[in-house]
């Protein structure tokens, strides 16, 4: 498996979808059962052989950094945590671009910290396993009614292995979607991405759009068929808490009993 030593975690968002909770705590520290979301992200990264998480934050000493440092012995091989400050909220593409000086000239991962994947070994590790020199994204099939909520990859979902990506369509209507494969929030990029991000400037909503730069790359997709939770939304967080709880042998009987009485 190719070594991808660094993963960028864009953690400078305001968490507006989860207010008022995120007025008190960063969304990365909202809990799923007994651990904050960032703990699951770090575990997934460690399973992919990642050695360093590069946090892109609004401040130089975020609370999430303190948590990761305190728990660093929980993730074998993952022992370094860097912080890059994004001074203005100029979008996901700008957040990734801010990490350029830390990432350097090697391939690197990007993991959105409000998206949990189960099983975790089928997430970032699958991209690292499939990497052969071109940038990759992880995609998962979603129901037709939900296509307009996601970025959708234009690729042949009947093929095996890495799927060549012809394009990306942001939040299409179901009858205009090129496939049912949604981008999950896991990416593996060659450093060429930084060149395109630096050149393109602001786009929609005066933000630097990651998707715009991605369309310039030779891009492949790896299919993920597990469970995907958008923990930046109320529904996604509640679903994650419930399903992770039901996977816990101590909690499952209690939860099943409670649910049966509703």
In the chain, pLDDT over 90 holds for what percent of residues? 68
For residue 258, pLDDT over 80 is answered with yes
Are 166 and 154 within 8 A, CB to CB? yes
Residue 181 forms part of a structural domain:
yes
Is the peptide bond between 165 and the residue preceding it cis, with omega within 30 degrees of 0?
no
Give tens-digit pLDDT for 74-123: 999 999 999 999 988 788 999 999 999 999 999 999 999 999 999 999 99
Residue 83 forms part of a structural domain:
yes
Give tens-digit pLDDT for 138-157: 999 999 888 888 889 998 77
For residue 206, pLDDT over 70 is answered with no
For residue 256, pLDDT over 60 is answered with yes
Instruction: Tokens 């997430």: give the residue.
Output: 123
**Average pLDDT, whole number, for the chain?**
91
What's the pLDDT score for residue 204? 54
Are 15 and 57 within 8 A, CB to CB? no
Runs of H (alpha helix) within 131-233: 192-200, 210-214
Domain count across the chain: 1
End-to-end CA distance of the chain: 47
Report the CATH number that the domain containing residue 117 is assigned in CATH: 3.90.550.10
Residue 51 forms part of a structural domain:
yes
DSSP 21: G
15 or 95, higher pLDDT: 95
For residue 135, pLDDT over 70 is answered with yes
Residue 96 forms part of a structural domain:
yes
What's the pLDDT score for residue 156? 76
Residue 59 forms part of a structural domain:
yes
What's the pLDDT score for residue 1? 56
Give tens-digit pLDDT for 154-202: 987 767 789 999 999 888 888 888 899 999 999 999 999 999 999 876 6
- 31-32 vs 35-36, strand pairing mode: antiparallel
Q: How confident is the model at residue 227 (pLDDT cuts 50, 70, 90)?
A: very high
Three-state secondary structure of 58-126 = CCCCCHHHHHHHHCHHHCCCCCEEEEEECCCCCCHHHHHHHCHHHHCCCCEEEECCCEEEECHHHCHHH
Residue 100 forms part of a structural domain:
yes
What's the whole-number mean pLDDT along residues 32-47?
97
DSSP 138: E
41 or 161, higher pLDDT: 41
Residue 257 forms part of a structural domain:
no
What's the pLDDT score for residue 259? 92
Look up the domain containing 180 and give its range.
Answer: 6-233
What's the pLDDT score for residue 201? 66
Are 44 and 16 within 8 A, CB to CB? no
Residue 87 forms part of a structural domain:
yes
What's the whole-number mean pLDDT along residues 189-218?
84
Burial of 227 (0-12, 13-18, 19+ CB in 10 A): middle
In sequence order, the 6+-apart residues with CB closer than 8 A to the CB of 147 are 171, 172, 173, 174, 177, 180, 182
For residue 221, pLDDT over 90 is answered with yes
């Amino acid at each position: 498996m190719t070594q991808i030593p660094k993963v960028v975690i864009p953690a400078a968002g305001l968490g507006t979808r989860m207010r008022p909770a995120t007025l008190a705590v960063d969304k990365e520290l909202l809990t799923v059962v007994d651990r904050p979301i960032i703990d699951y992200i770090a575990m997934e990264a460690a399973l992919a052989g990642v050695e360093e998480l590069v946090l892109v934050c609004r401040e130089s000493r975020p609370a999430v950094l303190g948590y990761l440092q305190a728990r660093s012995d929980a993730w074998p091989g993952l022992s370094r945590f860097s912080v890059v400050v994004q001074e203005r909220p100029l979008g996901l593409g700008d957040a990734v671009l801010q990490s350029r000086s830390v990432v350097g000239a090697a391939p690197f991962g990007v993991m959105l910290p409000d998206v949990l994947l189960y099983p975790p070994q089928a997430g970032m590790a699958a991209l690292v396993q499939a990497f052969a020199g071109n940038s990759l994204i992880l995609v998962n099939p979603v129901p037709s009614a939900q296509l307009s909520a996601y970025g959708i990859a234009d690729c042949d979902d009947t093929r095996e292995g890495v799927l060549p990506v012809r394009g990306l369509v942001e939040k299409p209507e179901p009858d205009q979607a090129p496939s049912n494969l949604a981008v999950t929030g896991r990416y593996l990029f060659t450093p060429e991405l930084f060149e395109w991000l630096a050149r393109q400037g602001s786009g929609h909503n005066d933000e630097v759009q990651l998707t715009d730069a991605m369309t310039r790359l030779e891009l492949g997709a790896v299919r993920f068929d597990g469970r995907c939770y958008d923990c930046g939304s109320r529904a996604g967080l509640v679903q994650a808490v419930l399903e992770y709880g039901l996977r816990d042998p101590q909690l499952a009987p209690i939860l099943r009993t409670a649910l049966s009485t509703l």
